[in-house]
Amino acid sequence: MKDFQFKNTTDIRFGSNRIETELHDAVAQFGPNVLLTYGGGSIKRSGLYDSVKKILSDLNIVELAGIEPNPKISSVREGQKLVKENKIDVVLAVGGGSVVDASKVIASSAFYEGDPWDLVLDSTKRFKMKQLPLVDILTLSATGTEMNAGSVISNPETNDKLGTYGPNTPAVSFLDPALTMSVSKWQTAAGSIDIFSHLTEQYFDKEKNNDVSDGMIEGIMRTVIKWAPIAVAEPDNYDARANLMWSSTMALNGVVRLGYQDGWTSHPIEHELSAYYDITHGVGLGIITPRWMKFVLSAETVAKFAKFGRNVWHIQNDNDQVVADIAIQAVYDWVKSLGVPTTLPGVDINDDTNFKVMAESAVKVGQLDSAVYVDMSVNDVVDLYKAT
């Protein structure tokens, strides 16, 4: 197990009816000038927007609407202008991961004179600066952004989709599972696959004998596998929504990765798909993850895959190779059962023109040729795209 340091200061407010009584003070503690950020309108349709405006009616609210899925740097630039012009004290993000991600970079850009894309390209800049406090109301279970310091921002001009990290996790995160009942079947499936992929990225690690992290991850994997199909079939099932919401947070708030080397593979490969074709992140991961598993399965890795098969999928067989093969097929079948495509043509990607340049970028950004569970070359990544 590797040495580690861990600190996470996000104040989690989990459960229904907390917003009514706790949101006002959670926001007002930072000052009266609030930038309210949100997406394309789901919070207006659900009535959440009206509730928030009513609860905060004595504060000065400036709004940034229209933050898109796979959030674009243009939204961050707009936000930077608003926080500076209005002397904003706190950013309140209401929405899914895209809204929260963009808001974190806006919170940093308040203290930056240049173009915020600089902050995405070089996160070290953000650690030398202050960052406005961020309060969020999460409406979609997937990314873990509600309790981590990461954001993923796209720049359509350069076909980049890059991760960036700041010094702070959100100050306060409101996690009300009932708010996720209106999430579509597509986004529920995608979010669940995203959670599952965060867990596989961390679980399949070069570090051996980290039974604490392995055990926590296996438990969260079983939770997501069990409750995702129920949430897809019964959107109003509170237990399903609650289990997915807390899984989303726990999968990527930094706890379960402790002691691992933590090199990720499927995410850098998927981020290229989203950058070039603007597809839903979790759906891309559903296509990539089982194929990546097949690629990395070998005599060196079979024991870990067998552990995964026995502890997560309850497969009973003495032969590690048999268990590993059944487990990978089970991942594929689970993704398919959630009703999302499992091939690239299924998400309208029908030609391989960009695969080489995408693979080069994935290998560079993710250090896939040196810092991950099983190293991958550019050609390996191209083969993986073509295999799908």
Residue 319 structure tokens: 């032969």
Count of residues engaged in binding ligand NZQ, rule: CB under 6 A: 34
Burial class (CB in 10 A: 0-12, 13-18, 19+), 226: exposed
Any bridge partners for residue 64, and if so which?
37
366 binds, among Zn ion, ligand NZQ, none (CB under 5 to 8 A by kind): none
Minimum Å distance from CB 251 to ligand NZQ? Answer: 10
- Pick from 344, 363, 349, 354: which is nearest to 159 by CA? 354
How far apart CA 271 and CA 299 sit, in angstroms, is 29
Of the residues 34, 72, 91, 97, which one makes contact with ligand NZQ according to CB under 6 A:
97
116 binds, among Zn ion, ligand NZQ, none (CB under 5 to 8 A by kind): none
Q: Is residue 47 within 8 Å of 183, Cβ to Cβ?
A: no
User: Looking at beta carbons only, is 139 or 361 nearer to ligand NZQ?
Assistant: 139
User: Looking at beta carbons only, is 161 or 304 nearer to Zn ion?
Assistant: 161
259 binds ligand NZQ (CB under 6 A): no
182 binds ligand NZQ (CB under 6 A): yes
How far apart CA 144 and CA 327 sit, in angstroms, is 25
- Pick from 344, 376, 351, 352: which is nearest to 362 by CA? 376
139 binds ligand NZQ (CB under 6 A): yes
Identify residues 27-46 at the interface with ligand NZQ (CB under 6 A): 39-43
183 binds ligand NZQ (CB under 6 A): yes
User: Looking at beta carbons only, is 194 or 262 nearer to Zn ion?
Assistant: 194
341 CB neighbour count, 10 Å cutoff: 19
Residues at the site binding Zn ion, with contacts judged by CB under 5 A: 194
Place of tokens 């895959």: 305
Burial class (CB in 10 A: 0-12, 13-18, 19+), 157: exposed
What is the CB-side half-sphere exposure of residue 250 using CA atoms within 13 A? 16
Identify residues 337-376 at the interface with ligand NZQ (CB under 6 A): none
Minimum Å distance from CB 276 to Zn ion? Answer: 17
User: Looking at beta carbons only, is 257 or 309 nearer to ligand NZQ?
Assistant: 257
Binding site for ligand NZQ (CB under 6 A): 39-43, 69-70, 95-99, 101, 139-140, 142-145, 148, 150-152, 179-180, 182-183, 187, 191, 194, 252, 267, 281-282
